[in-house]
Amino acid sequence: MELPESLTSGEVARLFPVISETGKEQRASSILLSVLSAVPPLANTVLAPLGQKIGARTSVDTFTEVVFKSDPSSPRRDRPDGLIVVSTGHRKWSCIVEAKIGKNDLQPEQIERYLKIAKENGIDAVLTLSNEFAALPTHHPLAVQKSLLRKVGLFHISWSGVLTDALLLHEQAAIKDPEQAFLLREFIRFFSHDSAGVTGFTSMPKEWSTAVAQVQAGGKIIRSDALEIVRAWHQQIRDLSLIMSRIISCKVGVRLPRSHVSDPDKRLSDDIHVLCGRGILSADLEIPNTASPLMISADANTRSIRISMSVDAPRDKARNSSRINWLLRQLREVEVPDVYISAVWASRAANTVLSLSEVRKDQKKIENGASNSDIRAFEITLTSNSARRFTGTRTFIEELEFLAPQFYEKIGQHLESWQPSPPKPKHSISEDESNNQSLAVAAEQNPEQPSAGNAHSDLLEIPVFLSRTFS
Nearest to 346 by CA among 308, 309, 372: 372
Residue 423: inside a domain: no
Residue 420 domain-assigned? no
Tally Cβ neighbours within 10 Å of residue 320. 21
**Has residue 201 been placed in a domain?**
no
Is the sign of the CA dihedral 244, 384, 233, 254 positive or negative?
positive
C-alpha to C-alpha distance for 295 and 251, rounded to whole angstroms: 17
pLDDT band at 463 (very low <50, low <70, confident <90, very high): low
Specify which residues 198 forms β-bridges with.
Answer: none
Shared-domain flag, residues 221 and 275:
yes
CA-to-CA separations, 112 to 76, 101, 426, in angstroms, rounded:
14, 19, 69
Q: What is the pLDDT of residues 36-50, one digit of tens each?
A: 999 999 999 999 999
Q: How many CA atoms lie within 13 A of 55 on its CB side?
A: 6
Residue where a domain terminates, one of 144, 175, 196: 196
pLDDT at position 459 is 47
Question: Are 55 and 126 part of one and the same domain?
Answer: yes
Q: Give 434 or 462, the one with higher predicted confidence.
A: 434
**Judgement on whether residues 218 and 187 belong to the same structural domain of the protein:** no
76 in the same domain as 157: yes
Residues 118 and 258 both lie in one domain:
no
| Structural domain includes residue 297 | yes
DSSP per-residue letters across 330-385: HTTT---SSEEEEEEESSSPPPEEEEHHHHHH-THHHHTTSTT--EEEEEEEEEE-
Could you report the per-residue pLDDT of 145-178, keeping only the tens digit for each? 999 999 999 999 999 999 999 999 999 988 999 9
Select from 196, 223, 242 the last residue of a domain: 196
Assigned domain for 202 exists: no
Burial class (CB in 10 A: 0-12, 13-18, 19+), 470: exposed
Output the pLDDT for position 318: 85
Cα 252-247-417 angle, rounded to 5 deg? 55
In a domain, 40, yes or no: yes
Contact, 16 vs 190, CB < 8 A?
Answer: no
The number of residues making up the chain comes to 471
Contact assessment for residue 163 and residue 198, using Cβ atoms and an 8 Å cutoff: yes
State yes or no: pLDDT of 256 exceeds 90. yes
Q: Where in the sequence is the domain holding 70, given as residue range(s)?
A: 7-196
Give the span between the Cα atoms of 15 and 184, in whole angstroms.
12
- The SS3 call for residue 193 is coil
| 120 vs 75 pLDDT, higher one | 120
d(CA 352, CA 343): 5
Domain count, the chain: 3
- Residue 223: pLDDT over 50: yes
Check if the beta carbon of residue 89 is closer than 8 Å to that of residue 68: no
State the Cα–Cα distance between residues 309 and 159, nearest whole angstrom. Answer: 30
Considering the domain architecture, whether residues 317 and 255 belong to the same structural domain is answered as yes
Same domain, 326 and 180: no
Burial class (CB in 10 A: 0-12, 13-18, 19+), 143: exposed
Q: What does the angle CA 130 – CA 236 – CA 403 come to, to the nearest 5 degrees?
A: 140
Helices H / strands E in the chain, number of each: 17, 13
CA 46 vs. chain centroid, Å, equals 15
272-310 confidence digits (pLDDT tens) = 999 999 999 999 999 999 999 999 999 999 999 999 999
Nearest alpha-carbon partner for 170 in 99, 438, 162: 162
Largest CA distance in the chain: 104
Is 213 in the same domain as 352?
Answer: yes
Secondary structure letter of residue 440 according to DSSP: H
Radius of gyration of the chain (CA): 31
Q: Is the pLDDT of residue 59 over 80?
A: yes
What's the mean pLDDT in 226-237? 98
How much is the pTM? Answer: 0.86
- Are 231 and 85 found together in one domain? no
DSSP bridge pairs for 207: none
Q: Is residue 435 part of a domain?
A: yes
Question: Within a domain: residue 257?
Answer: yes
- As a whole number, mean pLDDT of residues 386-405 equals 96
For residues 311 and 103, what is the distance between their CA atoms, to the nearest angstrom? 41
The Cα 12–Cα 31 span in angstroms is 11
Angle subtended at Cα 261 by Cα 260 and Cα 264, rounded to the nearest 5 degrees: 60
